[in-house]
Structure 1
Amino acid sequence: MEEVPTSVLSDDPCHLGEGPTYDLSSDTAWWFDIREGRLFEAHLGSGSIRVHALGRMASGLGRIDAERQLIVAEDGLYVRKLADGALTLVCPLEADNPGTRSNDARVHQSGTFWIGTMGRNAEAGAGAIYAFHRGKISMLFPRITIPNSICFSPDGATGYFADTARAVLYAVPLDPATGLPRGEPDVLLRHTGIGGLDGSVCDADGQIWNACWGAGRVDVYSPQGERLRSLRVPAKQSSCPAFVGPDLSRLLVTSAWQDMDAAARAADPQAGCTFLLQASARGRAEPDVKLA
């Protein structure tokens, strides 16, 4: 396990911290507490942090432009105005199924948004992975139990996703111009040992940085599925990484205290905190999502 200089960005513990992203133009990181319906906004240069109540569970965010974001929520996709936080429904997502909610999500270089859903109690096969492309939602992969690790190679020609329940990370060929599949997913790696595959992000060299839930670490894999590094995270339930900072070399990692009793939380006092790791990464900026 590699130890790198690590600090606490936010000590406000998230029930289920997820979905971090970073807006390079404003030096602002965003992430969610899914279970509590909260959106965190952190300006890294000043250290200022704001918490926004969304009134619903949400798990992912894509920047539209300097004034708007697209929020992935339990019942649909919403445009959020930064000026006042107002939410406007763009399209529903499994809104007729109260047994599911959104989970992992990430924007492809083309502006297409991949979004995962899952059962609220992680029911087997209750979820799916969708694409929001040119203003419309389409299902890509059905019967997913816990969708995670959605990310894309630097050239946009390969997409990755995991089903945490199956302990498998898949790679699928994509059309770089649209972010839509051109073939079937293949198994890239099977996770073994402690923990499970949670959120991932892909760096400028095509390496996949994966938060290992239950193991308190971030694993770095080659595009061939070989594990290259393991970086310690000071909370057992590390959930999702994002590249942050002016040179995108640091790693923001969310965590969670979900399903931990009093004894488990006492043994893991930083569970739910959000961390900054001096990872010496060669990160990539997140692309904007396209509404149409």
Structure 2
Amino acid sequence: MTTTSTPPVGPASPAAETAPASLLSAARCELGEGPTYDAASNTAWWFDILQRQLFEANLGTGEVKVHALPFRASALAFVDDRRQLLLSDAALVLRDIATGQLQTVIAVEADNPATRSNDARVHPSGTFWVSTMGLQAEPGAGAIYAFRKGILTPLFPGLTIPNAICFSPDGLQGYFTDTPSNRLYRVRLDPATGLPLEPPAVLHVHTGEGGMDGAVTDSEGRIWCAIWGAGRLDVYSPEGRIVRRVAVPARQTSCPVFVGPGFDRLLVTSAFVSMDEAERAADPQHGRTFLIDAGAHGRAEPRVALGGA
């Protein structure tokens, strides 16, 4: 991956805030990831990648359902009111919401059993950025792709743990990280296609405890990034300044998304993978899924365009 570099910008990091938080699901995910929200049905969805489970939460009633999957999956996008596109460990798979029926759309590194899917998010144009990583986080085994008009195009190969994929509200900027590097990258995009116009540049370098994981942008274009191992969300301005830190009840915080009719709450997933018994005891909320009132607003997640339609 060719990049241009800029120094991180900003004053000393702010102290972590404690925002009102509630428990959405007490189920403990070994590797909770990939949350998304459908405003039309007021439902939130997320995965336990390693347990091959898809969670569905009705935010109106509080009911949570768990759907077993025949593969590891890590993210989804809505196609329409009836269908979702799941990112699995070997393909993009169409899922019928009512029946659970699955249909492969296109292979994603299906010929490489040493990798699985990881982070993903839909660009405002309908292009779906998806990523892969090594099963043991082998250096350089991962990549980010763009799914557009039925074609999967490699964007950034040679990554280790691609994460923090998200976009500015106007679609002009894309963001991502390679978690071991703790560098947040920004790349200028064609807003009509969601494809890069130039090499990515370093926007922010995370220092201190934890690693940069999943992220989402709010309505003002600020980037809310889960800090794995630190139990918080860090919030960056579009210029790369860290403007807020918001505590999360579990240490291995993995990914946020804005939910609710006003997109005014953050659903945050977590995980207990790689934690020993003592670490789990010291982190009593490990692996659970939370709703946090952080005083910010997001926006609806775009729907993915199948075949460019």
2:81 is matched by which residue type in structure 1? A
Give unmatched runs, 5+ long, in structure 1. none
Give the equivalent residue in structure 1 for 2:56: 41
Give the equivalent residue in structure 1 for 2:30: 15
After superposition, give the CA deviation of every residue in 1:153-203 in whole Å (9 maximum; x if it has no partner).
Answer: 011000000000111110000000000001110000111000000000011
Q: Does 1:101 align with 2:116?
A: yes
Give unmatched runs, 5+ long, in structure 2. 1-15
The 2-side partners of 1:265 and 1:86 are apart by: 36
> What TM-score do the two structures reach when normalised by structure 1?
0.99
Alignment of 1:266-285 (within 5 A): 266-285=281-300
2:240 is matched by which residue type in structure 1? G
Q: Does 1:245 align with 2:260?
A: yes
Give the equivalent residue in structure 2 for 1:3: 18
The 2-side partners of 1:154 and 1:221 are apart by: 14
Alignment of 1:99-138 (within 5 A): 99-138=114-153
1:181 is paired with a residue whose SS is: coil
Note the C-alpha offset of 1:281: 1.1
Give the equivalent residue in structure 1 for 2:203: 188
Q: Between Structure 1 and Structure 2, how many residues are aligned?
A: 292
Structure 1 runs (4+) deviating above 6 angstroms are none
> What TM-score do the two structures reach when normalised by structure 2?
0.94
Note the C-alpha offset of 1:97: 0.3
Aligned counterpart for 1:55 among listed residues 63, 66, 70: 70
Q: Does 1:235 align with 2:245?
A: no
2:94 is paired with a residue whose SS is: strand
After superposition, give the CA deviation of every residue in 1:114-150 in whole Å (9 maximum; x if it has no partner).
Answer: 0010000000000000000011101000000000000
Note the C-alpha offset of 1:220: 0.7
1:248 is matched by which residue type in structure 2? F
Note the C-alpha offset of 1:152: 0.2
Note the C-alpha offset of 1:58: 0.2
Give the equivalent residue in structure 2 for 1:27: 42
1:169 is paired with a residue whose SS is: strand
The 2-side partners of 1:120 and 1:151 are apart by: 23
Note the C-alpha offset of 1:279: 1.2
The 2-side partners of 1:183 and 1:203 are apart by: 24
Q: Does 1:286 align with 2:301?
A: yes
1:211 is matched by which residue type in structure 2? A
Note the C-alpha offset of 1:290: 0.5
After superposition, give the CA deviation of every residue in 1:67-89 in whole Å (9 maximum; x if it has no partner).
Answer: 00000000100000011101100
1:183 is matched by which residue type in structure 2? E
The 2-side partners of 1:240 and 1:78 are apart by: 21
**Identity over aligned pairs, percent:** 61
1:103 is paired with a residue whose SS is: strand
The 2-side partners of 1:255 and 1:81 are apart by: 26
| Higher share in strand | 1
